Amino acid sequence: MSKGNDPPVVRVTGDGGGRTVRETAMNNLGSTIDPEDVVAADAAAREFVQRHRDDDPVAAPVDEIGRALVVVIDDRAAHGERPSPLGPLVRELLAEAGFHVDATVTVPGDEIEIRNAVNTAVIGGIDLVVSVGGVGVGARDVAPEATEPLLDRRLRGIEEAVRSSGLAAGATDGGLSRGLAGLSGQTLVVNIASSRAAVRDGMATVAPLAKYVIESISEF
């Protein structure tokens, strides 16, 4: 037999029509909870859980390091002959490193086209521009020539780090890259090679160095 201070007991039963009915025995009175009260209580509980989840520092989003732009240098992709998988790959790697990628731009191996893409990012206040491709020894590999006039300061340490890590990782095009790195205004510009191995290794090398450079610039 229920005592006078027993808590309500809620059970779920069928009403014969396939619906669910919430019933309760409150103390020994056998009264029924209003379904609208149950819905309101459920909503309040969900709101409480969500509010405390949002306040949880572990669940809070990580602050972004800065804004980035990806410039893919690929003649065939630029002319619509095939899509390039490099843009999505670099975008993903940058996002994992904490960058917000504003856009991915595909241009042909042409100095003016490359320079315009990079310069547009600089004017737009982008923190990091990563160009992919055009750093080899072919006639259309002109990314360094397009980039150099835009740089106010060369950062040869980043250039050498990318080449050294590329060789160590077995990415030959990364190790032999003529790619440049430097500052154009307050924008860091880095050229990397276009093989998947060179991209993955290059981004793993560039990301922490870019973070350091961007944070150093923001201090002034």
Q: Residue 69's beta-bridge partner residues? A: 103, 129
Least confident interval from 18-27, 93-102, 127-136:
18-27
Please say if the pLDDT value at position 26 is more than 50: no
Confidence of residue 64 (pLDDT cuts 50, 70, 90): confident
Q: Are residues 25 and 92 in the same domain?
A: no
Q: Are residues 46 and 113 in the same domain?
A: no
Burial 195-219 (b: 16+ CB within 10 A, else e): beebbbbbbebbbebbbebbeeeee
What per-residue confidence (pLDDT) applies to 219?
A: 73
Q: Are residues 79 and 38 in the same domain?
A: no
Q: Are residues 86 and 193 in the same domain?
A: yes
Q: What is the pLDDT of residues 200-210, one digit of tens each?
A: 999 999 999 99
Please say if the pLDDT value at position 133 is more than 60: yes
Q: Is the residue at 199 inside a domain?
A: yes
Confidence of residue 54 (pLDDT cuts 50, 70, 90): very low
Task: Give me the domain span that covers residue 208.
Answer: 66-218
Please say if the pLDDT value at position 138 is more than 60: yes
In angstroms, the CA 51 to CA 47 distance is 6
Q: Are residues 47 and 94 in the same domain?
A: no
Q: Is the residue at 119 inside a domain?
A: yes
Q: Are residues 103 and 146 in the same domain?
A: yes
Q: Are residues 47 and 107 in the same domain?
A: no
Q: Are residues 173 and 92 in the same domain?
A: yes
What per-residue confidence (pLDDT) applies to 107?
A: 98
What per-residue confidence (pLDDT) applies to 61?
A: 40
What per-residue confidence (pLDDT) applies to 10?
A: 40
Between 151 and 49, the more confident residue is: 151
* pLDDT average, residue stretch 100-109: 97
Q: Are residues 40 and 132 in the same domain?
A: no
Between 72 and 59, the more confident residue is: 72
What per-residue confidence (pLDDT) applies to 60?
A: 35
* pLDDT average, residue stretch 93-116: 97
What per-residue confidence (pLDDT) applies to 12?
A: 39
Q: Is the residue at 190 inside a domain?
A: yes
Confidence of residue 47 (pLDDT cuts 50, 70, 90): low
Q: Is the residue at 4 inside a domain?
A: no
pTM of the predicted structure, to 2 decimals: 0.72
Q: Is the residue at 60 inside a domain?
A: no
133, 143 contact by CB (below 8 A): yes
Please say if the pLDDT value at position 135 is more than 90: yes
Helix axes 86-97, 196-218, angle to 10 degrees: 40
Between 6 and 61, the more confident residue is: 6
Between 33 and 113, the more confident residue is: 113
Number of other CB atoms surrounding residue 167 within 10 Å: 15
Q: Which helix (H) or strand (E) holds 99?
A: strand 99-107
Please say if the pLDDT value at position 83 is more than 60: yes
Helices (H), the chain: 35-55, 75-78, 86-97, 111-123, 143-147, 156-168, 172-175, 196-218
Q: What is the CATH number of the domain that holds 188?
A: 3.40.980.10
Question: What does the chain come to in residues?
Answer: 220
Question: Sign of the C-alpha dihedral, residues 37, 42, 43, 47?
Answer: positive
Confidence of residue 17 (pLDDT cuts 50, 70, 90): very low
In angstroms, the CA 197 to CA 175 distance is 11
